[in-house]
Each structure stands twice: as C-alpha cells, then as structure tokens.
Amino acid sequence: MKPFKDTPNDFRRILDDTEAKLFLTEHQLLDKLLEFGKQIRPGEPWSARIYYTDHPTHWIIADLYTGFENPGDNGYTIDAIPKSRVTMEQFRSIERRSAAERFPHGIERDETGEVGSSQN
C-alpha cells in the first residue's frame, strides 16, 4: 500500500483488514474503535466508526463491523478523503450523509464528536 502522503490528492479506500489495522495502529486509533465493543452485549453484531481529522493529507473515516453471521460482513474499512480537494465543511457534510446511510439506527459520539458507533 502506498503511503497516503504519496497520494495527497487521491481518494483512497482500504478494505484489507491487515492494512486497515496497521493504519489504525500507526495513528493510535485501533483502541478507540474497539472501545465501543465494550458497550455491546457479547455475541451481538455491532459496528463502530471513527472520524479522524488530524491526518496531514486526508480526512479519515474508519469503520469496524464485527459479530455478523456472514464472515464477509465483518472487518475494517478506511476511506481517506484528500484535504487538498475537500474542505472541512465539505467533509462534515460527507460524514453526516455517510453516517446516516451506514448507521440508520443512529450514532453515538464521544466528547470530541469524532467517534460514532451503532448497534445493529
């Protein structure tokens, strides 16, 4: 995987769990994403989302899906939106629209407003 800094103007998506977990670990986001699982009853499917705005070149949306019956429905995804092409205001609009589509039952945000999750 090419580093995001090498493609600052490109929209990027990571669907490979190993690559996604590596990215999340490098940016100290994996534990934040997993924290939501502690609020869910064991054995129930759940998903969590992080909005990460401190990356130098991209706005980041990271999702985790787990506990779903179909193994293909579980795993990590990362969407990276280039800051060079999308303003913070535009990103927030994308974030709201995307969250409504992926989490129709609503999201929960932490005190910073950066993290969301939904029990499915």
Structure token digits, residue 4: 């995001």
In a domain, 4, yes or no: no
Q: What is the DSSP string of 30-74?
A: HHHHHHGGGGSPTT--EEEEEEE--SSSEEEEEEEEES-SSGGG-
For position 11, what pLDDT does the model report?
96
The CA distance from 15 to 62, in Å, is 10
Residue 37 covered by a domain: yes
Q: What percent of the chain has pLDDT over 70?
A: 80
| DSSP category for residue 6 | G
Residue numbers of the domain that contains 40? 18-119
pLDDT digits (tens, 9 = 90+) for 67-99: 888 999 999 999 999 999 999 999 999 888 877
Is 1 part of any domain?
A: no
Residue 8 lies in a domain: no
User: Of 2, 11, 7, 6, which is closest to residue 78 (Cα–Cα)?
Assistant: 11
Taking all residues of the chain, what is their mean pLDDT, rounded to a whole number? 83
Residue 10 lies in a domain: no
Q: Is residue 12 part of a domain?
A: no
Q: Is residue 2 part of a domain?
A: no
Say what the pTM is. Answer: 0.79
How many domains are there within the chain? Answer: 1
- Would 63 be classed as within a structural domain? yes
